[in-house]
Structure 1
Amino acid sequence: MGAGRVAGVTRARALRTRCLGPDGVRNVAGSRTLDDALRYLSATAYRHDVTPGATTAEAQRAVSTTLLWHLRVLAGWQPATGADAVRALAAGFEISNTEQHLRALSADPRRPGSQRLPPPPYRLGALAIAWTRLARTRTPAELRTALAASAWGDPGGDSPAAVATGMRVSAAVRLATEVPDAARWAAARLALLFGREVFVVGRRLPDVSVRRAARLLGGRAVRAGSYADFRQALPATAKWLLDGLDEAANLWRAEARWWDAVERDGRELLRRSRFGPEPVVGAVAVLSADAWRTRGALELAARGGGPGDWPAEVLDAPG
C-alpha cells in the first residue's frame, strides 16, 4: 500500500468534520433572518467565504466555494487515480463556470441588467478538465468548438440549453466510467436530467447527447415516446430514483431522494476500512450533500421560515 494512498484516505476521513451535519443544517434553517444564519455559519467550516450582509445567492455561492476548496485539498492528497476520481465528481463546478461564461458571451448589451457584473468563476485548480481553454473563447461557436476538442465532447449546439445539457450528459457518462463506486449516482442523475428535459420542459436533446445518454440509460429509454415508457425502460441503476413517481410533474421530488442516496452511500464508503478509492468517493459525496442541504437551509432562513416550513427530506440527513 503506497504512502500516497494512505495519506489520501486519511485526509478523506478527516474531512468528515467539515460538514455542518443535520443539527447544524436545522439551526441554519431555523434562523429567522438570513443575517442570523450567516452569523451561525461564521463559526462553522463554511465561515471562510461567508460575509455579513451577503444576499442569499452570495451566501449559497460561498457554501459552494467552501465545498470546492475542500475538494481541491482532498484531490491534492491523492495519487493520480484518486485525484482523477475527485475531478470527475467535481465536474459540476466547471459546468457552472461554462454556463456563466456562455451567458456573458450571449448577453445583449441593450437588455436591462446585462451590465451587471457576474461573480468570478470558481477557481478550479487541478480539478479543471478544460476550463482554461473554454475561458478563452469569445463567441458561443468558439465555445462549442473548444468543448468538442476536449474531454467534454461536442454538446450538439452552442445555445445555453444545448451546452448545459450536453455537458451534464457527458459528465454523467464520464463519472460512471471512471468512478465505479459512483456509477449508480451518475445513471440516476442522468435519468432525472433526461426526464425533466424531455417530459417536463418538452425539449429534445441534441442527437449527440441522446447517443451519449443511451450508454447509461439504454436505447429504449432514450427513444421512449412517453414518460411511462421511459420509466419502464430504464435500467435498474437508474430506475430506483423514479420509483413511485408516476407523473413527470413529480420529478422534482427525485432531487432530494437522489441526495439522500448519495449521502447514505457516501457514509457507507467512508466506513470501509480498506485504503482504496472508496473512502475518497465517500468523502466527496458526504461533503457535497451537506453543502446542498446548507444551501437549502439558507434559502429558508432568507424567507424567515423555520424547519417546519421546509420539506423534511431536504433538512434530514438519511440514517
Structure 2
Amino acid sequence: MGAGWVAGVTRARALRTRCLGTEGIRDVVASRTLDDALRYLAATPYRHDVSPGTTPDEAQRAVSATLLWHLRVLAGWQPATGADVIRALAAGFEISNTEHHLRALVADPRQLDAERRHAPPYRLGALAMAWTRLARTRTPSELRTALAASVWGDPGGDSPAAVATGMRVSAAVRLAITVPDAARWAAARLALLFGREVFIVGRRMPEVSARRAARLLGTRAVGAGSYADFRQSLPVTARWVLDEVDEAAGLWRAEARWWEAVERDGHELLHRSGFGPQPVVGAVALLSADAWRTRGALELAARGGGPGDWPTEALDAPG
C-alpha cells in the first residue's frame, strides 16, 4: 500500500479516541436533565455547539455535526480511493441537507426563515457529491432535475417523500458498490427503508426507486404483497436484520440491531492488520454508531434520564 493509505489508516485508528464510548454514554443517560447532559458533553469530543439552554434537536444536530467534522478530517488524510469510501459512507449528510432544502422550498413563505434558521446546512466540504448544485435550486421540479443529472439519479418524483426515499435508495446501492465491506450494511438498511415505507407507511416507492432497490433486495422482495413475503424473499445479505421481526410494526427493533451489527463489524474492521480501506471503514462505523447512541442518550436525558433507562432499544434515535 502507498504512503496515502499508511497515513489514512493511522489517522483512522487515532480517531477511535473521539468516541464517547459505553461508559460515557451511560453517564449522559444518567443525567437528570438535558442541561446536565450538555454540561457533561462540554468536556468530551462532542463539546462544540452544546451548552445549557440548547434544545434537544439542536444538541442532537451538534453531535451529528461533530461526526461530520471527524469524517471530513479523516477524508483529508486518505488517498483518492479512501476519500471516495468516506464520501459514500457519509451520504446521509447530503440527504439531510437536501431534505431541509426541499422543505424550505415548499414551506409557507412566512415560515421560510424559521425553517432555515432551525437547520442550517451541514458543511460537507470535500464530502459533497452534488450539494452545491442542489442548494441553488429554487423549485421542487428544479431539484428533481438536478438530482437526475447527478450521481444521485432521478428520485421518481419531486415530493419530499419521493426525494428522501429516492436518495436513500441511491445511497444504499452506491455504498454497496463503492464499499464492499459495507455491502451487508447497505442491503439491510435498504430492507428497513423499504419495509417501513411499504408495509408501515403504506406508500409504494416510485418505479425508478423500486427498480434501483431491486439491485440489492431482489425483484421478488421488491414486488412482495405482504411483509411476510417480503421478509422471506430477501437475500441473506439483508434478511439477517429482520430475524425474529415477524411483524412490520417491529421494524424499530431491527433498526437497533442494524446499528449493533455496524458497531460490531466496525470494531473488527478497524483492527485488521495492514494498510487499506478496511480500518478506515471500521473507524467511520464506530464514530457513526457512537454518535447515534449519543443522540439517543440526549433524548433520554431530555426525558429525565436515569440509570434504569439504558436499554439499547431506548437509544433508537434518528440516524
User: TM-score, normalised on structure 2?
Assistant: 0.96
CA contact (8 A) 1:102 1:160 kept: yes
Query: What SS does structure 2 have at the residue aligned with 1:48?
Result: coil
Q: Which runs of 5+ in 2 are unaligned?
A: none
Question: What is the deviation of 1:153?
Answer: 0.1
Where does the alignment leave 5 or more consecutive residues of structure 1 unmatched?
none
Shift of 1:53: 1.2
Write the letter of the residue equivalent to 1:90.
A
The answer to whether the 8 Å contact 2:31/2:306 transfers is yes
CA distance in 2, matches of 1:148, 1:114: 25
The residue identity in structure 1 corresponding to 2:179 is V
Residue 201 (structure 2) aligns with: 201
- Cα distance in 2 between the residues matched to 1:61 and 1:219: 36
Aligned partner of 1:62: which letter?
Answer: A
Report if the CA contact (8 A) 1:28-1:298 is conserved.
yes
Residue number in structure 1 paired with 2:137: 137
Q: What is the aligned partner in structure 1 of residue 80 from structure 2? A: 80
- In 2, the alpha carbon distance for the partners of 1:223 and 1:157 equals 20
Residue identity in the other structure for 1:299: E
Contact 1:49 1:66 in 2 (8 A): no
Deviations 1:39-87 (A, max 9, x none): 1000001112222310000000000000000000000000000000000
| Alignment-derived partner of residue 98 in structure 2 | 98
* In structure 1, distance between residues paired with 2:127 and 2:314: 28
Deviation of 1:308 after TM superposition, in Å, equals 1.4
Q: Are the counterparts in 2 of residues 65 and 122 from structure 1 also a CA contact under 8 Å?
A: yes
2:257 counterpart of 1:257: yes
Spell out the pairing of 1:1-319 with structure 2 (5 A cutoff): 1-109=1-109, 113=111, 115-116=113-114, 117-313=117-313
Aligned partner of residue 252 in structure 1, secondary structure: helix
Q: Alignment length, in residue pairs?
A: 314
The structural deviation recorded for 1:208 is 0.2
Distance 1:44 1:315 in 2: 19
Instruction: Give the fraction of aligned pairs with identical amino acids, expressed as a percent.
Output: 84
Aligned-pair CA distance for 1:114: 5.1
SS in 2 for 1:288: helix
Go from structure 1 to structure 2 and tell me whether the alpha carbon gap of 1:273 and 1:60 turns closer, same or farther (over 3 Å shift): same
Q: Distance in 2 between matches of 1:183 and 1:307?
A: 36
Moved more, 208-217 or 41-50: 41-50
1:306 offset after TM fit, Å? 1.6
Amino acid at match of 1:213: A
The separation in 2 between residues aligned to 1:303 and 1:288, in whole angstroms, is: 23
Displacement of 1:307: 3.4
Partner amino acid, structure 2, of 1:230? F
Query: Does structure 1 retain, via aligned residues, the 8 Å contact 2:26–2:310?
Result: no
Aligned 8 A contact 1:307 1:315 in 2: no
Distance 1:305 1:51, change over 3 A: closer
Q: Determine the C-alpha separation between the residues in 2 that align with 1:25 and 1:63.
A: 13
Cα distance in 2 for partners of 1:56, 1:278 equals: 34
Instruction: Kindly state the Cα deviation for residue 119 of structure 1 after the two structures are TM-superposed.
Output: 2.2
| CA deviation profile, 1:216-267 (whole Å, cap 9, x unmatched) | 0000000000000000000000000001000001111111100000000000
Check conservation: 1:91, 1:171, Cα contact below 8 A. Answer: yes
State how far apart, in whole Å, the 1-side matches of 2:21 and 2:207 are: 41
**4+ residue segments displaced more than 2 Å:** 309-316
Name the amino acid aligned to 2:250: N
Residues 155 and 163, structure 2, Cα contact 8 Å, conserved in 1: yes
Distance in 1 of aligned mates of 2:43 and 2:311? 26
Q: Is the 8 A contact 2:60 2:298 kept in 1?
A: yes
Q: Deviations over 1:68-115 (max 9, x none)?
A: 0000000000000000000000000000000000000000236xx555
